[in-house]
Amino acid sequence: MKSDCMQTTTCQERKKDPIEMLHSGQLVKVCAPMVRYSKLAFRTLVRKYSCDLCYTPMIVAADFIRSIKARDSEFTTNQGDCPLIVQFAANDARILSDAARIVCPYANGIDINCGCPQRWALAEGYGACLINNPELVRDMVKQVRNQVENPRFSVSIKIR
């Protein structure tokens, strides 16, 4: 996982909490996750145009925790890339919570993709097929909440 951030300040300490932003009553500009586009360079650009909250592209949690190479290619950030939500594709609560713990120091939360309609994602048990398995989704949310020590770290679910 590459970080241009030289300081050890966590993301939660640097910027407003996404949940507080969304409950503020103010307009919040959000850059939703977009396949291949929501990488650091694009997020940096949209933040220059006053985007308040950015998401990463969907990252397969199993690959992310298994491989440093996958982490380095799929997740980059820097000090100005905040607040940030990392979107994961997952079908296993333990794997998702491990991935969440890895990104926790660099992000404000994670988003579980329960909406991707791509055939490959459905075949792997990710994305839209999770909507038919609410118990698994519940278990994934609970596992992340139990394993990530920061109570301000958000866990959200993308559905369509």
Residues 17/24, Cβ–Cβ less than 8 Å: no
List, in order, residues 6 or more apart from 114 with CB less than 8 Å away.
127, 128, 130, 131, 137, 157, 158, 159
List, in order, residues 6 or more apart from 109 with CB less than 8 Å away.
18, 85, 86, 153, 154, 155, 156
Task: Burial-class residue 94 by CB neighbours within 10 Å (0-12, 13-18, 19+).
Answer: middle
Residues 2/74, Cβ–Cβ less than 8 Å: no
Is 31 considered catalytic here?
Answer: no
For residues 45, 49, 53, 55, the Cα torsion angle rounded to the nearest 10 degrees is -30
Q: If you compute the radius of gyration of the chain from its CA atoms, what whole number of angstroms results? A: 15
Tokens 């559905």, located at residue: 159
Q: Which of 5, 114, 116, 129 is catalytic?
A: 116
Supply the residues annotated as catalytic.
116
